[in-house]
Amino acid sequence: MKTEVRGNGASISLQNPSFFNTPQGSITGALKECLGSLDGACIEKLLLHCASALENNNVTLAQQVMWVLNNVASTVGDTNQRLTSWFLRALISRASRVCPTAMNFNGGSMFRRRLMTVTELAGYVDLIPWHRFGFCASNGAIFKAVEGCTKVHILDFSITHCMQWPTLIDSLAKRPEGPPSLRITVPSCRPQVPPLLNMSKQEVGLRLENFAKFRDVSFEFHVKDDDPCLSNEPFDVQFESLLTQLTRSGLDLREDEALVINCQNWLRYLSDETKLNTAHNISLRDAFLDIIKGLNPRITVVVDEDSDLTAPSLSSRITTCFNYLWIPFDALETFLPKDSSKGLNTSPTSVTRSRTSLVSKGSKG
């Protein structure tokens, strides 16, 4: 993971740049050791120094570390520089809460979420290893599970806007015995997390229908609506309402079709905190799992991130986030030229924003 620092092509814009006016001579010995070799391991060490300083309300040390990080960070640099840029923003946001007088930073203006086109989203999921491997593994398991079935119904709970299904439709179309008829049902609500798409679920369904028709696969697409009165409520409230409709009759499940339940990066966004006002005092996540188990599916596929981002310690969250986010940034640097416009537009900032918010706000951020 070692890399050569290649300049600071695009520095971070701050409302109070004087926050970084820390003379190099005042930097502690531990930090000086890192100045000559700013590789990934050293950057992670600096981030942990800063986290420890903030947790101990040591603003002076935090400023010194951020001064070093600011000289490394670049939104158009290599993997380590780009990661440093995002983590520095998160740490600055947190520092502004630890010591508001030291810095007036408005982090919200930096984190504007851009809606992706279908083409951009396809490129994104193809480049990011989590999605590419998750789709491949789950589609393979589903294909094997529905072998010999003439009718298949998929309940799709995912955050990637059905990008998984063209590949499965293509595989089903090639079955020697002929493709089954396929129904896909998706919930109308989803966690408000990236990637975000610039079209409705109905439009996505229409595109899938056209593709299935091209591959001679009988296809239906349904969006399971929740209560329209809850459209402005948080995701947890909307999904809790939707759970009451996840019944055999509510989903129009049929005896002659194989039921598949697909959860792609979904369970993470269901609260695991027990709700005392529920009938059985269980969490939203447990309630969902109980319901889908009761539907007696032929197969349930769960793909999620192998990382724990809920630790109470800021240092622990930084370590997990840094190693987790290094993967997509490195994938882009490996497969795309550094000056590629596709690389900049497809940059995994969508994931980074949601993960670094856990650093700037806290374990439940």
Residue spans per domain, the chain: 17-112+311-360, 118-303
6 — pLDDT class (breaks 50, 70, 90): very low
Name the 3-class secondary structure at 222. strand
User: What value does the mean pLDDT of the chain take?
Assistant: 78
Give yes or no for residue 295 having a pLDDT over 60.
yes
Q: Provide the pLDDT for residue 321.
A: 81
Q: Which is nearest to 44 in space by CA: 334, 359, 355, 321?
A: 321
Name the 3-class secondary structure at 200. coil
Residues 45 and 315: their CA atoms lie apart, in Å, by 10
Residues 357 and 352: their CA atoms lie apart, in Å, by 8
For range 283-296, the mean pLDDT? 93
Q: Which is nearest to 262 in space by CA: 330, 184, 149?
A: 184
Residues 236 and 232: their CA atoms lie apart, in Å, by 11
Give yes or no for residue 227 having a pLDDT over 80.
no
Residue type, 177: E
Highest mean pLDDT of the ranges 122-136, 143-157, 347-361: 143-157
Q: Provide the pLDDT for residue 360.
A: 55
Name the 3-class secondary structure at 129. helix
25 — pLDDT class (breaks 50, 70, 90): very low
CA distances from 56 to 51, 52, 105, 196, 314 (A): 9, 6, 20, 37, 11
Q: Are 148 and 257 in contact (CB under 8 A)?
A: no
Question: By percentage, how much of the chain surpasses pLDDT 90?
Answer: 33
Q: Provide the pLDDT for residue 356.
A: 54
For residue 181, what are its two tokens?
């008829």
Stated pTM of the model? 0.73
